[in-house]
Amino acid sequence: MDEKGIQLGIGKRTLVLVDRDQKTVQHLENGDRELVTIIECVSADGDALRPSIIFKGKRRNLAWARSNPCNASISTSPNGWTDMELGRAWLERDFEPETAARNTSGGYRLLILDGHNSHCTYEFVKFCEKHKIILMCLPSHTTHRLQPCDVGVFGPLASSWKSEVNHASAANIAITKFNLLDYYDAARSRAMTASTIQSVFRKTGIYPFNPHVI
């Protein structure tokens, strides 16, 4: 698992052909730089858990999930970042029940993550011990090589998301908290395919013997 930040109104740079005498080229973009944090968790079998979305705000507006095609769980924080409380909430509310339902053998589950302080609290570790979850905490400065999400998932996801922002901007549609889940689901569906997810586990060299271990 890992976190990924996206901005509501910042798309990708585009290449265009213009007349050589044209001094100004206009690009339509909403430009909203508000950060939304996405927690994603992928498995070596090519599957992914539902995403967890952290919006900036003091309290959740139920209308934000009125359209929720990816069945994302939704939280808020003052700055839109994850923290110790939200990290533990994701573990208890999302990871444990979803992976337990797939764990037909009743054995241990493996959770690979980085050393962010939201993952390394006493409560987080104690919960994992109680529920037969093995934590594999990656060493500092190695996630660009060892973290499956960083190695090959978040790059395509970021590109796909920025394309969604560009298309929405071209249609004069602003992406807000009320419609973000629709656009994120479209970007996620294109970027996080089973083959892409499986390939990054092989690249990192941590592909487990049992491809159904999560």
**Is the distance from CB of 167 to CB of 190 less than 8 angstroms?**
no
For strands 109-113 and 73-77, give the pairing.
unpaired
For residue 110, pLDDT over 90 is answered with yes
Query: What are the two backbone dihedrals, phi and then psi, of residue 137, each rounded to the nearest 5 degrees?
Result: -95, 115
Q: How far apart are CA 9 and CA 32, in angstroms?
A: 4
pLDDT tens digits, one per residue of 149-208: 888 899 999 999 999 999 998 888 999 999 999 999 999 999 999 999 998 888 777 655
pLDDT at 49 (0 to 100)? 96
CA atoms within 13 A on the CB side of 112: 21
Residue 11: closest CA among 150, 170, 179, 152: 170
How confident is the model over 73-104, as pLDDT tens digits? 999 999 999 999 999 999 999 999 999 999 98
Which one, of 31, 30, 72, 42, lies nearest residue 55 by Cα?
Answer: 72
Q: For the chain, where are the alpha helices, taking DSSP H only? A: 84-90, 96-102, 122-130, 143-146, 148, 154-170, 180-191, 194-204
For the entire predicted model, the pTM comes to 0.85
Contacts of 103 (CB under 8 A, 6+ apart): 109, 214
How far is CA 181 from each of CA 35, 85, 137, 140, rounded to the nearest angstrom?
Answer: 14, 23, 30, 32
> What pLDDT sits at residue 144?
79
Amino acid at 110: L
Q: Tell me what pLDDT residue 209 has.
A: 44
